[in-house]
Amino acid sequence: MTTPWSGFRAVAVALLDLSLPQTCAGCRTAGCWLCRRCAAALRGPPQRVRPTPEPPGLPPVYASAAYDLAVARIVNAHKEHARLELAAPLGRALAAAVQAAIDGAGVSSAAAPLLVPVPSRRSTVRSRGHDPLLRTTRAAVSGVGQRTAGVATVLRHRRRVADQAGLSAHERAANLSGALEVAPRRLAAVHGRAVVVVDDVLTTGATLGEATRALQAAGVRVIGAAVVAATTKRSAARLDAGGGLG
Ligand SMILES: [Zn+2]
């Protein structure tokens, strides 16, 4: 149907196209913002992943992608360079992992779980100008539809933690031990509920393990965890060899 708004919409869409970056966020191929190969790398299928060593209390974790160089660049472009158009494909990848976590837990559709993202430090959100994981989680909810009850941002830091980058598995666990809690004012939103904890990348599992501990301490039932991508020994070695994310 043609309405007076159709023309405006077409112009708006064209302007949006013009404003999109013209190189693939994953492999830097010119002419698109995410090439087919990199989009396919995000699509999975989701798999159960286990860090080695596995932190005690870690729930079953599902990931859609391997954290290889292209996927790392996509996550980084969204997170650090505010390439917000990537929230949709990242959200779809997270949604698929959430679906797998719900299927793995055997949860009936009547008991749709909430998605609880691990919290970002406030100073980090301020310096980035956005909260990438929250944006991805909201995009994921629209992909999972009625199988989730929405997003619950209930976790917060109860003390300062160091940046996890460059820490060993043992150091990460120590850095995060007891660092998170359910904000008392948000407790009613999750108490007694089933939740899936979500994050962008699984490395050692320390963050998801600590988030799970904090939720369980507040009487929340954590049925699983879901991430966009998980590091494997192979992908970590390749990232190191590739000289970082650029
Ligand atoms: Zn690409």
pLDDT at 27: 96
Task: Report if residue 4 sits inside a domain.
Answer: no
Rounded to whole angstroms, the Cα distance separating 119 from 28 reads 30
- In the chain the first and final C-alpha atoms are separated, in Å, by 46
CB contact set of 245 (below 8 Å; sequence gap of 6+)? 69, 72, 73, 76, 239
- Please give the C-alpha separations between residue 176 and each of 14, 43, 50, 196, 229, in angstroms, as whole numbers: 46, 30, 19, 19, 21
Residue 99 belongs to domain spanning: 41-241
Distance 206 CA to ligand 1 centre (A): 30
Rounded to whole angstroms, the Cα distance separating 171 from 60 reads 22
Coil vs helix vs strand at 91: helix
Residue (of 38, 32, 36) closest to 20 by Cα position: 32
Confidence of residue 233 (pLDDT cuts 50, 70, 90): low
Distance 84 CA to ligand 1 centre (A): 16
Task: Report if residue 187 sits inside a domain.
Answer: yes
Rounded to whole angstroms, the Cα distance separating 148 from 139 reads 12
Average pLDDT across the chain, whole number? 86
Arithmetic mean of pLDDT, 233-238: 57
Distance 209 CA to ligand 1 centre (A): 32
- pTM (two decimals): 0.85
Better pLDDT: 139 or 125: 139
Task: Report if residue 183 sits inside a domain.
Answer: yes
Distance 79 CA to ligand 1 centre (A): 17
Task: Report if residue 218 sits inside a domain.
Answer: yes
Residue (of 242, 175, 230) closest to 47 by Cα position: 230
Q: What's phi and psi for 168, nearest 5 deg?
A: -75, 170
Cis-peptide into 46, omega within 30 deg: no
CB contact set of 134 (below 8 Å; sequence gap of 6+)? 117, 120, 151, 153
Distance 36 CA to ligand 1 centre (A): 7
- Give the CATH number of the domain where residue 230 resides: 3.40.50
For 205, the token pair is 């599992």
- Give the up-direction half-sphere exposure of residue 129: CA atoms within 13 A in the CB hemisphere: 6
Rounded to whole angstroms, the Cα distance separating 80 from 129 reads 9
pLDDT at 243: 44
Task: Report if residue 129 sits inside a domain.
Answer: yes
Confidence of residue 2 (pLDDT cuts 50, 70, 90): very low
Give the model confidence (pLDDT) of 166-199 as tens digits: 777 788 778 888 899 999 999 999 988 899 999 9
Decide if pLDDT at 93 tops 90: yes
Arithmetic mean of pLDDT, 150-162: 89
pLDDT at 88: 96
Arithmetic mean of pLDDT, 65-94: 96
Task: Report if residue 222 sits inside a domain.
Answer: yes
Distance 29 CA to ligand 1 centre (A): 6
Cis-peptide into 53, omega within 30 deg: yes
Distance 222 CA to ligand 1 centre (A): 35
Confidence of residue 163 (pLDDT cuts 50, 70, 90): confident
Please give the single-letter amino acid code of residue 197: V
Distance 86 CA to ligand 1 centre (A): 12
Give the model confidence (pLDDT) of 191-219 as tens digits: 888 999 999 999 999 999 999 999 999 99
Distance 57 CA to ligand 1 centre (A): 36
Task: Report if residue 246 sits inside a domain.
Answer: no
Distance 39 CA to ligand 1 centre (A): 7
Distance 75 CA to ligand 1 centre (A): 13
For residue 82, the Cα-to-chain-centroid distance in whole angstroms is 15
Task: Report if residue 144 sits inside a domain.
Answer: yes
Distance 73 CA to ligand 1 centre (A): 10
Distance 32 CA to ligand 1 centre (A): 8
